[in-house]
Amino acid sequence: MSNHPLISDEDLHAYIDGALEGDRALAVRNALARDAALAERAALFQADKAMLKAVYAPLTQRPLPREWVALVRQRPGRRWRQAGTIAAAVLILAGVSLTWWHFASPWNGDVVETALDARDGTLAPTQYIVLNDIAQAHRYDAALRQATASNVHIPDLSRMGYRPSGLRLYGTAAELVYQGPQGRLFTLYLKRSDGSARFDQFAHGGLRVCVWQDDQISTVMVGDVSVAAMQRLAILTYTGLSS
C-alpha cells in the first residue's frame, strides 16, 4: 500500500500504465514530485513491469494454451484487466486487456478452503520451520520442492516489503508465511496441481485471495492487501517460484 494519504497503489499502477487522465493524473504527478518515497515506490512498480516484459516477451510468440483462450471466450462482452499470473502476463504482453477471472464458487472443498484452514491454524502442519530472511529461507528450498513435488524456490517478496517468517509443511503441501508492512501477514499455500488451469481473485473475510494454478502447481495467496498490491505480489511470487 502507498504511504501517501491521497495516492493509492491502484493510482500508481494506473498512472504508470497511462490509464489516469485529467485532474487525477495531475494529482499523482504532483505527489510524485513532492514525495521521494512515493516516487521510489512508483519506480519499483515500473521496474517490475519492465522485468515482466523482459521475462515473458518471448512467450507472446507462442500460441496461447487452449484452456486460456476458452476461458476468455466464455466471457464475451467484458473488459479484461491486468492479472498477476503467468496466464495474465502472457495475455497482457500479447495485447489482451484482462480482469480477474472468476470461476465457480470457491467454497467447494478445494485448495482455497484448505489454504484458508492452513492460514487460520485449523489445519495443523507436520513441521514448522522458523525463517528469518530470504537468504536463510533458501536453505529450505529442497523441503518446499519435496512437499510440492515441483521444482520451485521460496519467492523473494522484499520489493513489496515482505520477508519470510515461516514454512509450514503438510506432507504433500506447504505454506509460506511472510511478514509485511504494519505487521501484516501474507501467506502462500502450495501443492501439486490436479492438472487444470485456474486464475481467480476475490475478497473473503477482509482478506484478498488470489489463486493461480497451472498443470504443475496450485498456488493460493492470501493477505490484507489491495487489488493492485495483490497483482504485484502475484507477479513476484510467480517469478520467484520459478527462478
Specify if 153 maps to a domain: yes
Burial of 145 (0-12, 13-18, 19+ CB in 10 A): middle
Specify if 19 maps to a domain: yes
Specify if 181 maps to a domain: yes
Claim to verify: residue 52 and residue 162 sit in the same structural domain: no
Q: Strand pairing partners for 200? A: 211
The closest alpha carbon to 101, from 196, 1, 175, 18, belongs to 196
pLDDT tens readout for residues 169-203: 999 999 999 998 888 999 999 999 887 777 777 88
Q: Which domain holds residue 48?
A: 1-62
Q: Which residues contact 205 (CB under 8 A, 6 or more apart)?
A: none
Q: Note the pLDDT of residue 19.
A: 75
Q: Where does the pLDDT of residue 205 fall: very low under 50, low under 70, confident under 90, or very high at 90 and above? A: confident
The closest alpha carbon to 116, from 185, 36, 198, belongs to 185
pLDDT of 159 strictly over 80: yes
Question: How many domains does the chain contain in total?
Answer: 2
pTM for this model (two decimals): 0.65
Claim to verify: residue 162 and residue 219 sit in the same structural domain: yes
Claim to verify: residue 55 and residue 116 sit in the same structural domain: no
**240 close to 178: Cβ distance less than 8 angstroms:** no
Q: What is the mean pLDDT of the chain?
A: 77
Specify if 142 maps to a domain: yes
Claim to verify: residue 47 and residue 151 sit in the same structural domain: no
CA atoms within 13 A of residue 229's CA, in its CB half-sphere: 25
Helix (H/G/I), strand (E/B), else coil: 168: strand
Claim to verify: residue 49 and residue 118 sit in the same structural domain: no
Claim to verify: residue 116 and residue 58 sit in the same structural domain: no
Q: Where does the pLDDT of residue 129 fall: very low under 50, low under 70, confident under 90, or very high at 90 and above? A: very high
Q: Note the pLDDT of residue 226.
A: 82
Q: Note the pLDDT of residue 116.
A: 93
Q: To the nearest 5 percent, what fractions of the chain are helix, strand and coil?
A: 45, 20, 35
Q: Note the pLDDT of residue 115.
A: 94
Specify if 155 maps to a domain: yes
According to DSSP, residue 182 is labeled: G
Q: Which of 68-77, 156-165, 184-193, 229-238 has the lowest mean pLDDT?
A: 68-77
Q: Which domain-ending residue is among 29, 45, 62?
A: 62
d(CA 157, CA 105) in angstroms, rounded, equals 29
pLDDT tens readout for residues 13-69: 778 877 778 888 899 999 999 988 888 888 877 776 666 566 555 555 555 555 555
For residue 133, give the CATH number of its domain: 3.40.1000
d(CA 68, CA 81) in angstroms, rounded, equals 15
Cell 492470501 found at: 222
Claim to verify: residue 214 and residue 154 sit in the same structural domain: yes
Specify if 167 maps to a domain: yes
pLDDT of 97 strictly over 70: no
Claim to verify: residue 224 and residue 134 sit in the same structural domain: yes
Claim to verify: residue 28 and residue 117 sit in the same structural domain: no
Q: Which residues contact 121 (CB under 8 A, 6 or more apart)?
A: none
Specify if 73 maps to a domain: no
Please give the radius of gyration of the chain, using alpha carbons only, rounded to the nearest integer.
18
Claim to verify: residue 203 and residue 118 sit in the same structural domain: yes
Claim to verify: residue 132 and residue 232 sit in the same structural domain: yes
Specify if 13 maps to a domain: yes
Claim to verify: residue 37 and residue 126 sit in the same structural domain: no
pLDDT of 227 strictly over 70: yes
